[in-house]
Each structure stands twice: as C-alpha cells, then as structure tokens.
Amino acid sequence: MPYRTEYYSVEKSRIDFSGFDDVSICRPKFIYFEVDGLMPNARHFAFFDNTNVSNYINTSAATIEDFSNLARNDPRRNPGDLYINETGFPTALGGPAAAIYSNSAGKIAGVFYLQSNNSINFPAGSRTLTFIDISTLDKTRAISYATATFTVNAGIERYDTAYYSVQESRQVWYDNPPAPPPYSGGSGDGGGGGGGSDRDGNDGISPRGSTVDRPGNVVSRTIDAIFGTDYSTSKKGVGDLDGNKGDADGGNDGKIVCTAMNQAYGFGSFRQAVWLQYSANNMTKAHEVGYHAIFLPLVRKAYHSGDKNNMILRRVLENIARHRTADIRAEMKGRKRDTIGRAYRVVLEPLCYVVGKAIMWKNG
C-alpha cells in the first residue's frame, strides 16, 4: 500500500477555573454617600469602623448623577493602585474637604475614598461608616450622628493549567520503503523492537507514540505508561504486545523492555518526563518487576482486536495511566491531588511492590 496511517501524540494545555481565593482586606475604592436627618449647619466628622477618615471625604467632587454616569474606564470607578500613596482624598480629584458640614436640611452628600495600603487598610466583611458631630466616636456624647453599613465580600479567581495528550493520525505516502534497521532494544522476529512487522501487519511502521525521521526508522525511545521506566535498553524475557520476547541482555539496571504501553497510548514527552522523574526518585526494582508481572499480560490481552471485552480492558488501563500521571504531577508540584489517580496508586503501587518482592525472592 502506498499510504499508511501514522499515529503521533500532541501535547496540549488548557486553563481551567479552579475556584476563588478569599480577599482579606478591602481594596481601594470610591464610595458615594448621602446622609440626612442630621443637625442642620453643623460640623461633622467621618469614621470608618473606629478610624477617623474625615481627611478622605470630599463633598464637592461629584453629585450622585455624576458618580452614576462615570465612564467605564474612569479611575473613580476602579482606582486600583493609582492613588495608593495618598494620605487623604486624592489631590488630583479635588482633595479632601476642609471641614464636613451638614446643609440647612441636615444633609451631607459626597464621596469617600476607601484607602488600602500599608499605613491604613480595613478588613473585608461588614464595616460601619459613621458621621458624628464630635471628633471622637462616642455616640453617648453626640447630639447628631448617622451610620451606614458597607459590606465587602470578594475573592480572587484562581486558574490552573491542565496538561493532556491527544493522539492524532495522518496518512503518510510510502513509495518503496526501505527495510527498517533492527531496533536497538532487541532482536528476533518483531521482539523487543526488532526488524519484523507490527501488530497490524504493516512492515516497518513505528509504534504509536514513536517518531520517525525517515520511513521505517524508529528514533524515539519507549516509556512505560504506568511506572515510567526508560526502555531504551532491553532485558531478556520481557516481550511486546504480541507475546514475542526480546533476547538481548540489557546493560543498564532497572531498564526493562516494555514497548506495549507506549505503543498503545502514544503518550508524548510531557507524561514521559513526569513518569521518569517520579520513578527515578520513588520506584524500586521490586515495583518494576511486580508491575510487569501484573500488567504485561493485561496489556497483551487489551490490544488484541476482535473482542469488545478487550476494548473495555484497554480503556481501564488507559484510565489508570492518565489519572496516575495527573496525581504524580500534582504531588510533585504541591497542588491539589487527583482523587482517582491517588486511589489507583494507593492500591496498585504497594501491590506491585509486594508481587515484585515475591518474584525476586523466588528467583533468588
């Protein structure tokens, strides 16, 4: 056939909303107020909670109509840090009132600049704004006062980057492809990556997840999808999906041939890096031996076509690999753990270790 299907992995990411972080203090804000029922033509002082904020009041900067019709980008609508160093109502906007007086109807109207910096700030929640006719906040001694409640309930949106791998395929033209060179991982008829056919009978086709520099030449190493072992060197007695066993002795302890999972999933460099880093620091030889004893027969069965039960098993194995990767990465980054992946690991990693220890003890 002049065309063949080539599978490859594409690493992608997305930004996921993960919740809110509580805000502990009020941010800078302009608050328009109107107070009535006060003693007419009397001087008053402003307190926010127990702090005298008279210097942050302006009674001539804007009317309620002006304040309601501010442009969307007007700094009085959302000042941010623009006036954060001011010690009173911003000078650029008219500065503070020299004194706060009620009018002949006993009314005070104006704008309060709620400052928030290292010198003056207020906790979030329900706060009280009070106008009183004496310079101390003592209502028992006052003749005229009025209060209002200002509530701040806010949060900062939190987003996390989620990484995932997508397997894609493309049609590749093959015009008299050369015979593929023997794979360095082993020898024999298709065993350990040798120069035979793949499970679909296509001569010289790279496994899913591998990359090809020219037709038929596999240049990427394979990575175990559960425990992340580097399989660029083979070990005798462990085979591929079709049950063929490689026969080359490996020269690197802890490196075991298991092309099956990488062929099956086509996972890319991101998951490979996570598996390898974690297994190097946390997995033992017993984990590897136990894993291969348990999972390799399951992988062989899962990727023989023609039985719908095999597809169910395949999806289960893929689910384990994906969720375990997510949990490992979350643990390494100190983030919220993947619940499903964590459950898989609690059961499977000790099980693999115990089985591996038993096999190693039995084999001396």
The residue with tokens 């990359």 is 211
- In whole angstroms, give the CA distance from residue 229 to residue 222: 9
Residue with the bigger pLDDT between 282 and 258: it is 282
Name the residue with higher pLDDT: 93 or 185. Answer: 93
d(CA 247, CA 234) in angstroms, rounded, equals: 8
Tell me if residue 271 falls in helix, strand or coil: helix
d(CA 129, CA 109) in angstroms, rounded, equals 13
How many whole angstroms separate alpha carbon 123 and alpha carbon 236?
Answer: 67
What is the rounded distance in angstroms from the CA atom of residue 148 to the CA atom of residue 139?
14
Whose tokens are 């360095």? That residue is 184
* Cβ count near 232 (within 10 Å): 16
The mean of the pLDDT values for the chain is: 74
Q: Please, is 90 exposed, middle or buried when counting C-beta atoms within 10 Å of its C-beta (0-12, 13-18, 19+)?
A: buried
| pTM over 0.75, yes/no | no
253: Cβ contacts below 8 Å, ≥ 6 apart? 285
Q: What is the largest CA-CA distance in the chain?
A: 104
Q: Which residue has the higher pLDDT, 281 or 203?
A: 281
Give yes or no for a contact between 220 and 210, defined as CB atoms under 8 angstroms apart. Answer: yes
For residues 234 and 246, the answer to whether their CB atoms sit within 8 Å is yes
pLDDT digits (tens, 9 = 90+) for 56-69: 999 987 787 887 88
Please report which confidence band the pLDDT of residue 36 belongs to, taking 50, 70 and 90 as the band edges.
Answer: very high
Tokens 């023609």 label which residue?
306
Amino acid identity for residue 305 in this structure: S
So what's the pLDDT on residue 2? Answer: 60
Q: Which residues of 332-342 are buried (b: 16+ CB within 10 A; e: fewer)?
A: eeeeeebeebb
Spatial CA neighbour of 256 closest among 265, 246, 264: 246
Q: Which residue has the higher pLDDT, 35 or 16?
A: 35
Give the C-alpha separation, 78 to 305, whole Å: 62
Q: pLDDT digits over 321-344, tens only?
A: 888 888 888 888 888 889 998 999
Interval 113-169: pLDDT, tens: 999 999 999 998 899 999 999 999 999 999 999 999 998 877 777 888 888 888 888
